[in-house]
Copies of this chain bind each other. A is one copy, B any other.
Amino acid sequence: MKKINFKSKFKKFSDKWSPKVIEEMNDYQFKIAKIKDDFTWHSHPETDETFIVIEGTMGIEFENETIELSEGEMLVIPKGTRHKPFAEHEAKIMLIEPKGVVNTGDTINEYTAKNDQWI
């Protein structure tokens, strides 16, 4: 049992759109990521997905709306909902989702990251 400091963890990597696992709770994982520019459209047919903005601002584009998130805000995306995250400037975010969820969901392409990258 060891506490996690978000700022310290973010200092350990610089690559974008490549979620790093910082902790697990039951069969869920907490992952942090640095993001900038556009991600790829995708959905997770099997699970909801939680975004929490730790620093900066980001947006998530949906088929019918775009939601902007700032530091101290969170959004839960219902399973199966197509979305495209983006950030004009680099943002630091945390994702919470079941272990094994692929970052690009049902869309496998150059944005697809390896799972279980612990830092």
Contact indicator B1/A73 (Cβ below 8 Å): no
Closest chain B CB from A74 CB (angstroms): 5
Does A3 belong to the interface (CB within 8 Å)? yes
Say whether chain A's binding surface is mostly helix, strand, loop, or mixed.
strand
Classify chain A's interface size. 20 to 34
Residue-by-residue, is A24-36 near B (CB-CB < 8 Å gives 1, otherwise 0)? Answer: 1110101000000
Does A75 belong to the interface (CB within 8 Å)? yes
Does A106 belong to the interface (CB within 8 Å)? no
Q: What residues make up the interface of A, taking CB atoms closer than 8 Å to B?
A: 1-7, 23-26, 28, 30, 47-50, 54, 62, 67, 69, 72-79, 81, 96-98
